[in-house]
């Protein structure tokens, strides 16, 4: 690997006449002049307008000229930049920001990132491995999937693993421990999904004490004794600072006849490696587990999601290291809490399955037994499909009585008033306003019934569900009473309801 002469860019710095001075760069010279000129053009930092950030940005800009010379950056900031700031920064702050910027600049990667390193030699091409591989015999009888728990799509995979992923505190760990108990004792999961009884191993990188406590609780809650797990469920308290030695793992699994192995959690198991979660190296452990050809279940954390997506089902893309680890999942199970207020309600969904994905399952962690030793077991509330969830939402909505939707009405009206003559669909309005389409439908339905909007079922040729606002009328409130939406009565004189006024044209 050598330097490519043709790709070396022309020098960008002014090298002329500098040799004689033998100045160990920045300090004086053209750099400082350039830096001062730059500092005059930089946006000054103004108190109350993200001034801190502006100052640091300015220091970083100066560092592109003065590089890691913190003193020079500080000088330029003090002499040229600071007088323009409102109010000027104290010297200590300037010094600190200059040092921060210099330190940031000092990292060679920063320079490399900025510069076009086109002259860098191309990395050596990755070796191409071609393996012969076994040829599938189409005449051979089909091999059925060896389900260990068909209800949750869990089966041993050739070269892949099962992932249980979810938000922190969503119940991934308890679910995995419960599954381990069910596998070890041969009990139906949630009293509904049969499992294949087998020996289970858990490598717990996050403290086995809690795991053991949970498992004892599950076992007793299921009417068994923890002693029955002896030889069937082996929990190892594994140090997160140790990498799993695959040779040892092979021996252990073979020796203990383990068919289901749970890694709690994958992230903790990989903590001692420097592998970036999105690098292929991050999936190295998953590859090794996949090669065991047993049911390897890794618990994976989901990335933090925005407040607007909290309570939503996490996708495989939300699982940390999804680019590397997600690809290794034969089965991926999502666990989340649909209701932030009710942490015991747990929803289990299928992100990926070797066969047909299982329907979303709602379970509730229920306390049983004596108060001092609560026994937590999950109780199946039911499986849910999209249709059943929507039907439930409808029912919930209809249960609501005397709900005033004035805020939604105003928002919808404002949106529709922008294009009063244009038929607009419920979905489009829902997307634009951020209001649930069912509410939009209710509001517009009530308006249409009252003659304040036109419902164009199919007359416009644009399909059903299009509404046009009647420009003559203005609606201030929609009420739902006994499950039916209707226009609220006009407010009394002086009563302020934030009535929507049609904008004057």
User: Coil, helix or strand for 366?
Assistant: strand
**Residue 112 in contact with other proteins, rule: CB under 8 A:** yes
Among 49, 103, 114, 115, binds other proteins (CB under 8 A): 115
Q: Which stretch binds other proteins (CB under 8 A): 7-15, 50-58, 349-357, 359-367?
A: 7-15
227 binds other proteins (CB under 8 A): no
Cα distance between residue 202 and residue 211, in whole Å? 9
Residue 401 has, within 13 A of its CA and on its CB side, a CA count of 2
Closer residue to other proteins in complex, CB, 116/496: 116
CB atoms within 10 A of CB 332: 28
Which one of 3-11, 295-303, 331-339, 370-378 is the stretch in contact with other proteins (CB under 8 A)?
3-11
Site for other proteins in 149-178 (CB under 8 A): none
The nearer residue to other proteins, 111 or 287, going by C-beta atoms, is 111
Question: Residue 158's closest CA among 354, 345, 339?
Answer: 354
Range in contact with other proteins (rule: CB under 8 A) among 120-128, 388-396, 452-460, 490-498: 120-128
Beta carbons of 503 and 417 less than 8 angstroms apart: yes
Residue window 71-110: x/- pattern of binding to other proteins, with contact defined by CB under 8 A = -------------------------------------xx-
263: left (phi over 0), alpha (psi -120 to 50) or beta: beta
User: Is residue 99 within 8 Å of 105, Cβ to Cβ?
Assistant: no
**What's the closest the beta carbon of residue 18 comes to other proteins, in angstroms?**
4
State how beta strands 199-204 and 258-264 pair: parallel
Tokens found for residue 307: 């407040």
Q: Which of 33, 46, 117, 457 binds other proteins (CB under 8 A)?
A: 117
2, 146, 438, 481 from 340: Cα distances, Å: 58, 37, 22, 28
Task: Quickly tell me which residue has 């009394």 as its tokens.
Answer: 492
Q: Which stretch binds other proteins (CB under 8 A): 19-27, 55-63, 317-325, 378-386?
A: 19-27
DSSP state of 80: I
Tell which positions 27-66 bind other proteins, by CB under 8 A. Answer: 29-31
- For position 13 contacting other proteins by CB under 8 A, the verdict is yes
Q: Report how far apart, in Å, the C-alpha atoms of 404 and of each of 410, 429, 434, 443 are.
A: 11, 19, 18, 10
Q: Which of 90, 121, 374, 491 binds other proteins (CB under 8 A)?
A: 121
- Nearest distance, CB of residue 95 and other proteins, angstroms: 20
- What is the Cα–Cα distance from 378 to 348, expressed in whole angstroms? 12
15 binds other proteins (CB under 8 A): yes
Instruction: Choose which of 48, 83, 123, 141 interacts with other proteins (CB under 8 A).
Output: 123
The C-alpha atoms of residue 265 and residue 271 are separated, in whole angstroms, by: 10
* Contact (CB, 8 A) for 72 and 64: no
Residues at the site binding other proteins, with contacts judged by CB under 8 A: 1-6, 8-16, 18-19, 21-26, 29-31, 67, 108-109, 111-112, 115, 117, 119-121, 123-124
């Amino acid at each position: 690997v050598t330097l490519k002469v043709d790709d070396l860019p022309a020098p960008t710095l002014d090298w002329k006449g500098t040799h004689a001075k033998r100045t160990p760069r920045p300090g004086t010279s053209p750099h400082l002049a350039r830096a001062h000129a730059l500092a005059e053009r930089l946006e000054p930092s103004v108190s109350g307008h993200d001034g801190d950030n502006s100052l640091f940005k300015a220091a970083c800009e100066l560092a592109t000229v003065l590089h890691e010379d913190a003193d020079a950056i500080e000088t330029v900031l003090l002499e040229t930049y600071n007088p323009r700031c409102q109010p000027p920064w104290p010297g200590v702050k300037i010094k600190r920001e200059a040092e921060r910027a210099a330190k940031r600049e000092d990292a060679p990667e920063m320079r490399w990132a900025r510069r076009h390193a086109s002259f860098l030699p191309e990395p050596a091409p990755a070796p191409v491995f071609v393996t012969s591989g076994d040829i599938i015999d189409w005449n051979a009888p089909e091999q059925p999937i060896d389900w260990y728990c068909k209800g949750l799509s869990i089966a041993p995979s050739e070269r892949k693993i099962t992932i249980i992923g979810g938000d922190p505190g969503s119940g991934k760990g308890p679910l995995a421990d419960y599954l381990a108990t069910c596998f070890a004792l041969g009990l139906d999961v949630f009293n509904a999904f049969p499992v294949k009884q087998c020996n289970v191993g858990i490598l717990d990188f996050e403290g086995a004490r809690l795991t053991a406590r949970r498992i004892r609780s599950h076992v007793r809650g299921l009417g068994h004794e923890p002693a029955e797990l002896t030889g069937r469920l082996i929990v190892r308290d594994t140090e997160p600072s140790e990498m799993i030695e695959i040779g040892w793992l092979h021996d252990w699994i073979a020796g203990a006849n383990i068919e289901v192995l749970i890694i709690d959690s994958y992230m903790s198991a990989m903590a001692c490696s420097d592998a970036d979660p999105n690098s292929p190296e991050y999936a190295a452990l998953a590859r090794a587990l996949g090669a065991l050809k047993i049911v390897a279940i890794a618990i994976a954390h989901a990335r933090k999601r925005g407040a607007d997506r909290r309570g939503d089902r996490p996708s495989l893309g939300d699982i940390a290291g999804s680019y590397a680890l997600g690809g290794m999942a034969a089965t991926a199970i999502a666990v989340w809490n649909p209701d932030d207020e009710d942490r015991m309600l747990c929803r289990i969904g299928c992100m990926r399955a070797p066969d047909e994905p299982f329907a979303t399952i709602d379970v509730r962690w229920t306390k049983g037994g004596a108060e001092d030793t609560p026994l937590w077991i999950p109780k199946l509330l039911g499986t849910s499909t999209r249709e059943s969830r929507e039907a439930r939402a409808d029912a919930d909505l209809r249960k609501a009585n005397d709900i005033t939707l004035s805020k939604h009405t105003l928002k919808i009206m404002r949106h529709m008033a922008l294009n009063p003559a244009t038929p607009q669909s419920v979905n489009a309005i829902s997307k634009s306003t951020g209001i649930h389409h069912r509410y939009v439908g209710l509001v517009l339905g009530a308006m249409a019934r009252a003659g304040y909007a036109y419902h164009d079922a199919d007359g416009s040729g644009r399909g059903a569900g299009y509404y046009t606002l009647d420009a003559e009328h203005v609606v201030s409130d929609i009420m739902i009473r006994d499950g039916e939406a209707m226009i609220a009565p006009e407010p009394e004189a002086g009563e302020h309801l934030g009535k929507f006024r049609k904008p004057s044209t």
